Amino acid sequence: MALRMNINADMGEGYGKYDIGDDDAILKIVKSVNVACGLHAGDATVMRDVCIKAKENGVSVGAHPGFNDIWGFGRRQIRMNANDLEYLIAYQLGALAGMAAYAGVKVTHVKPHGALNNMAAVDADYAMAIGRAMKTVDPSLYYLALSNTEMEKAALALDLPLAREAFIDRLYDDNGNLATRTNPATVIKDPKVAAERTVRMVLDGEIISINGKKMPTKFDSLCVHGDEPTAIAVAQAARKALEDAGVEIVTLPEMMAG
């Protein structure tokens, strides 16, 4: 039986006249995109454009909600009331559904962005707030969550479809959490290193910490990034290595359908 894996990436992070990342290149590598929803990055024009391009490339669309913080690009940790956060997420899910109508596609997953993702990994209130927003707006959405986190627990507690992800280009600490991005050393920039590491992760079902600790981990999707100068090469190398190892790259709904 053939191995399959989803690859996802954040996209649509431009804002007005500002552009960031190489969306066209990324769309050739991944099979699912996490679309910024206008509050930390992205805008209506960009969101529509990404949805249309995703459809053209046979790529599934997910929401990538973040804090309402354009200046900080959603990378600043913000402490706020969990109910307000929940509604902020629901707002973004609704907005993306509106823009996806231009492409005639359905949004199929949710993955929190940046600091929100980092906080929700360890903060049950935040993780549950995201889950409740999904449950209200569209309970069929996959909660794309880091394995071994409060997000995973929230999806299970709320009986939401759960898809687990692991990272191709980021290092983990010994607890299986992502090491903070403010430390540049935690971002893998060498395509060869990333490719070898990725194949081992998929074939062995393990992630490896910054200290070499191996942690058996279930995951359905591999995350790559597009906003580092080296990111495209890293992602391309990882995808090619997976395919060479006999792994078929599929959309997230295809992956979850088994």
Segment contacting a copy of itself by CB under 8 A, of 91-99, 152-160, 166-174, 189-197: 91-99
Closest approach of Cβ 78 to a copy of itself, in Å?
A: 5
Tell the smallest beta-carbon distance from residue 133 to a copy of itself (Å).
Answer: 8
70 binds a copy of itself (CB under 8 A): yes
Q: Map residues 192-231 to x or -, x wherever contact with a copy of itself holds by CB under 8 A.
A: ----------------------------------------
- Residues 202, 203, 209, 214, CA torsion sign: positive
Strands 60-64 and 221-224: unpaired
Q: Which of 25, 57, 105, 136 binds a copy of itself (CB under 8 A)?
A: 136
CA distance linking residue 211 with residue 220, whole number of Å: 24
CB of 14 to a copy of itself, least distance (A): 8
Instruction: Find the binder of a copy of itself among 3, 24, 58, 98 (CB under 8 A).
Output: 98
If DSSP codes are grouped into helix, strand and coil, which group holds residue 14? coil
| Candidate list 4, 75, 181, 200; residue touching a copy of itself; CB under 8 A | 75
Q: What are phi and psi of 168, to 5 degrees?
A: -80, -40
Token pair of 194, please? 């990333």
Contacts of 115 (CB under 8 A, 6+ apart): 66, 67, 72, 74, 75, 76, 77, 78
Is residue 137 close enough to count as binding a copy of itself by CB under 8 A? yes
**In terms of C-beta distances under 8 Å and separation of at least 24 residues, what long-range contacts does 24-27 make, across chains too?**
24/53, 25/226, 25/232, 26/224, 26/226, 26/232, 26/235, 27/53, 27/54, 27/57, 27/59
Establish if 88 lies at the interface with a copy of itself (CB under 8 A).
yes
Q: Is 36 helix (H, G, I), strand (E, B) or coil?
A: strand
State how far the Cα of 176 lies from the Cα of 156, in Å rounded to an integer. Answer: 19
Please, what is the Cα angle at 61 between 75 and 169, to 5 degrees? Answer: 50
Residue 90 in contact with a copy of itself, rule: CB under 8 A: yes
**Distance in Å, CB of 32 to a copy of itself, minimum:** 20
The residue within the footprint of a copy of itself, chosen from 1, 71, 216, 257 (CB under 8 A), is: 71
Check residue 10 and report its DSSP letter: E
Among 88-96, 200-208, 232-240, 242-250, the segment contacting a copy of itself (CB under 8 A): 88-96
Q: Does 161 bind a copy of itself (CB under 8 A)?
A: no
Interface residues with a copy of itself (CB under 8 A) are 15-18, 20, 38, 43-45, 47-48, 68-73, 75-81, 83-84, 87-88, 90-99, 101-102, 115, 136-137, 182
